[in-house]
Amino acid sequence: MTDAPTHGFDTLQIHAGAKPDPATGARQTPIYQTTAYVFRDADHAAALFNLQEVGFIYSRLTNPTVAVLQERIATLEGGVGAVCCSSGHAAQIMALFPLMQPGCNVVASTRLYGGTVTQLSQTIKRFGWEAKFVDTDDLDAVAAAIDENTRAVFCESIANPGGYVTDIRALANVSDAAGIPLIVDNTSATPYLCNPIKQGATLVVHSTTKYLTGNGTVTGGCIVDSGNFDWSANDKFPSLSAPEPAYHGLKFHETFGGLAFTFHGIAIGLRDLGMTMNPQAAHYTLMGIETLSLRMQRHVENAETVATWLENDDRVDYVTYAGLPSSPYYDRAKSCYPKGAGGLFTFAVKGGYDACVKLVNALEIFSHVANLGDTRSLIIHSASTTHRQLSPEQQEAAGAGPNVVRLSIGIEDSKDLIADLDQALAKACG
Ligand SMILES: *Cc1c(COP(=O)(O)O)cnc(C)c1O
């Protein structure tokens, strides 16, 4: 179908990017479990390799099933194009790769997924890149951290796991003033609860492993480009603005305009970094996305119900959920995320570290796993797992202290989730 902007989210999550299979008429998008595609003739092959024509060459770069998912996510996010890759962490590297060079830095929020803090604070140093972590509520501090070598600002929309929501518009104003792109990890909010591009983001990254797939089956990632950034305004982004030796001096921005970042992501990023999404994973994620809005509505409804119950329980110290009136981010969530503050939150257990360990052991419906955004309810004690590599200060900054557990509320009956938490808290605090 044509993705007419008049179509609603529920229609687009099922139809965008897909049409009956041209070879067979199959209504569902087939899994093209295929590596290579026959060229019509030598001229066709040459045109594809010169990026003069768009088509399928080899599945490290493009695959018909993955292409449908790319168009689906780009449409739901309101971007001009998207590149899928093998995981959320791959998406983050793929997003930074065209922007950065040795000596460059990214200004990143202190409130990020634990693995992202490790990736940005440790691993990217080996590329000669650096991250400067700043409290993104302090816009002056963000502006002050940006220097002549800064190539991006990075944040999460609904931040994992601390009950924090970012004012993307305010942050975009700062990055715009500095002439650098804002990258938003929209994994926890999904395009159903938030469209960062509409609030001024340049690029959106996803771990499709989470809510977009929704059922804990495959890992994947995606980078969506708004198409709005002028990569040629100065000489900060030569990968996109300067002649590319690997393509006979082609300039991506000059040649592809708003699609420069997307083309670069495929023609250079996937070609040379090889962090490719496989067609099976794309299939599972396409299945999941068809019900995204329905699931997110229930995730939010259940999260509000369970968070309210926990907040009123004596064994609980506090609950950090931006959907609760007690949250300092409640008003911001209402205005920036009007459909809800997501399905993730943390709470602090009286009795600290030991009580948290007993709690996760006693739960029966909630599973103790390092994942989120599943139809199933999940719990994790971040301080002993996902945020274990962080210093105590970084743990506190991320809202993952020793007395805190994170819940990823599923789409089960909320009364059953509450009963499970009730019996486990009795064992943990008894
Ligand atoms: C899980 C997650 C990631 C990393 O994604 P993977 O698919 O596990 O590589 C990044 N950001 C957020 C917010 C996440 O939840």
Q: What is the pLDDT of residue 279?
A: 98
Q: In the chain, what percentage of residues exceed pLDDT 90?
A: 90
Domain boundary among 222, 257, 288: 288
Q: How far is the CA of 275 from the centre of ligand 1 (A)?
A: 15
Q: Identify the CA nearest to 154 among candidates 180, 129, 177, 128.
A: 180
Residue 161: Cβ-neighbour burial (10 angstroms; 0-12, 13-18, 19+): buried
- Residue nearest to ligand 1 atom 10, measured at CA: 88
Q: Does 150 fall in a domain?
A: yes
Host H or E run for residue 271: none
Are 278 and 336 contained in the same domain?
no
| Mean pLDDT value of segment 39-52 | 92
Kindly give the number of the ligand 1 atom that is closest to the alpha carbon of 373.
Answer: 15
Q: Which CATH number goes with the domain that contains 399?
A: 3.90.1150.10
Measured distance between the N- and C-terminal CA atoms of the chain, rounded to whole angstroms? 58
**Nearest alpha-carbon partner for 416 in 308, 306, 320:** 306
**What domain count does the chain have?**
2
- Cα 386 to middle of ligand 1, angstroms: 11
Q: Look up the pTM and report it.
A: 0.96
Average pLDDT over residues 296-318: 98
For residue 5, what pLDDT band results from cuts at 50, 70 and 90? low
The distance between the two most distant Cα atoms of the chain, rounded to a whole number of Å, is: 75
* Segment 218-229 mean pLDDT: 98
Ligand 1 centroid – CA 158 distance (Å): 13
Instruction: Say yes or no to pLDDT of 2 above 70.
Output: no
CA of 113 to the centre of ligand 1 (A): 7
Q: What is the CATH number of the domain that holds 90?
A: 3.40.640.10
Percent of the chain with pLDDT strictly greater than 70: 99
Peptide bond between residue 279 and the one before it cis (omega within 30 degrees of 0): no
Q: Tell me which residue range forms the domain holding 307.
A: 292-429
Residues 306 and 174 in one domain: no
For residue 272, give Cα distances in angstroms to 9, 79, 94, 246, 247.
34, 24, 11, 11, 13
- Beta carbons of 136 and 143 less than 8 angstroms apart: no
Residues 133 and 275 both lie in one domain: yes
Mean pLDDT computed over 324-330 = 97
Q: Treating both helix axes as pointing N-terminal to C-terminal, what angle do 279-289 and 64-77 enclose, rounded to 10 degrees?
A: 40
Residue 169: CB atoms within 10 A of its CB come to: 14
CA of 88 to the centre of ligand 1 (A): 5
Q: For 87-127, how does the pLDDT look when each residue is reduced to its tens digit (9 = 90+)?
A: 999 999 999 999 999 999 999 999 998 899 999 999 999 99
Ligand 1 atom with the shortest distance to the CA of 89: 9
Whether residue 120 sits in one domain with residue 107: yes
Q: From ligand 1's centre to the CA of 406, what distance in Å? A: 15
Query: What is the pLDDT at residue 162?
Result: 77
Phi, psi dihedral angles at 269 (to 5 degrees): -60, -65
Whether residues 24 and 162 share a domain: the answer is yes
- CA–CA separation, 430 and 425 (whole Å): 8
Q: Could you tell me if 74 and 122 lie in one domain? A: yes
Query: Tokens at residue 302, please?
Result: 């259940």
1 within some domain: no
Q: If you average pLDDT over every residue of the chain, what do you get?
A: 95
- Examine residue 309 and state whether it is found in any structural domain, yes or no: yes
Closest CA to 377 of 303, 321, 310: 303
Question: Model confidence over 169-221: pLDDT tens digits?
Answer: 999 999 999 999 999 999 999 999 999 999 999 999 999 999 999 999 999 99
Give the closest residue to 371 by CA, choosing from 87, 122, 166: 87
**Parallel/antiparallel/unpaired status of strands 130-134 and 164-165:** unpaired
- On whether both 325 and 404 belong to a single domain, the answer is yes
Final residue in a domain of this structure, among 245, 273, 288: 288
Q: Is residue 3 part of a domain?
A: no
Residue nearest to atom 4 of ligand 1 (CA): 88
Q: How many angstroms separate the alpha carbon of residue 424 from the centre of ligand 1?
A: 28
Report residue 221: phi and psi, to 5°: -145, 170
Residues 231 and 311 in one domain: no
Distance 210 CA to ligand 1 centre (A): 7
Closest residue CA from atom 2 of ligand 1 = 207
**Do 180 and 262 fall within a single domain?**
yes
Model confidence over 7-36: pLDDT tens digits? 999 999 999 999 999 999 999 999 999 999
Name residues contacting ligand 1 (CB within 6 A).
87-89, 113, 115-116, 156, 160, 185, 187-188, 207, 209-210, 219, 221, 372
163/256 same-domain check: yes
User: Which of 117, 185, 210, 407 is the best mutation target for the ligand 1 pocket, counting ligand atoms within 8 Å of the beta carbon and taking the most?
Assistant: 210
Ligand 1 centroid to 90 CA: how many Å? 9
Which of 112, 187, 374, 382 most suits a substitution to test ligand 1, by most atoms within 8 Å of the C-beta? 187
User: Residue 1: what pLDDT?
Assistant: 45
User: Same domain, yes or no, for 272 and 162?
Assistant: yes
H or E segment at 9?
A: helix 9-15
The residue out of 239, 257, 288 marking a domain boundary is 288
Average pLDDT over residues 296-320: 97
Tell me, yes or no, whether 166 and 300 share the same domain.
Answer: no
As to burial, measured by CB atoms within 10 angstroms (0-12 exposed, 13-18 middle, 19+ buried), residue 148 is exposed
